[in-house]
Amino acid sequence: MKEKEKIIRENRFFKVLLIVVVAFSFISTSCDDVDENSDETFTLSGTVTKSGINDGVKAYMKLVSKGGGMTAEALYSTDATFSGGTATYTGTNIEEGEYILYAFIDMNGNAAGTESSAPDAGDYVTLTDVNMNSDKTLDAPENVWIVYQP
């Protein structure tokens, strides 16, 4: 009788121990998520300005790896629509790193509208380095745009 009680008590002890261990592993996992900076991502946003652009014309932006050319694969991409000579873009969930931002204004409206959209003759283009180590605002003012000539 005593022996049976002891076994039951031991079983209960191990069940409680198991629950405690599981609970602690949950707690430590959620703490890791909060503390881990490598999971942090940033937002890149800005205003594109170019006079004489009709409302509804679209600008396309993409980030490629530092050193990548204009046709390099887009790691991130977004677009923006002109209204009153400006267009505002926002790219989110960007991992920390050094990139080149390529942007173009699709003057003739023939870009694919996907992340592989590319400029053709007569579109306006620009590029700049960007170090994404925090949320950044990167405007593309009037004087950065040049006419693309393939």
Task: Point out which residues bind Ca ion (CB under 5 A).
Answer: 106, 108, 110, 120, 123
Between 79 and 123, CB nearer to Ca ion: 123
First to last CA, the chain: 92
Q: How far is the CB of 56 from Ca ion (least distance, A)?
A: 14
Name the β-bridge partners of 97. 132
CA–CA distances in Å: residue 101 to residues 20, 46, 75: 50, 12, 10
Between 95 and 120, CB nearer to Ca ion: 120
Q: How far is the CB of 65 from Ca ion (least distance, A)?
A: 24
Between 100 and 111, CB nearer to Ca ion: 111
Q: How far is the CB of 52 from Ca ion (least distance, A)?
A: 16
Q: How far is the CB of 106 from Ca ion (least distance, A)?
A: 4
Between 94 and 102, CB nearer to Ca ion: 102
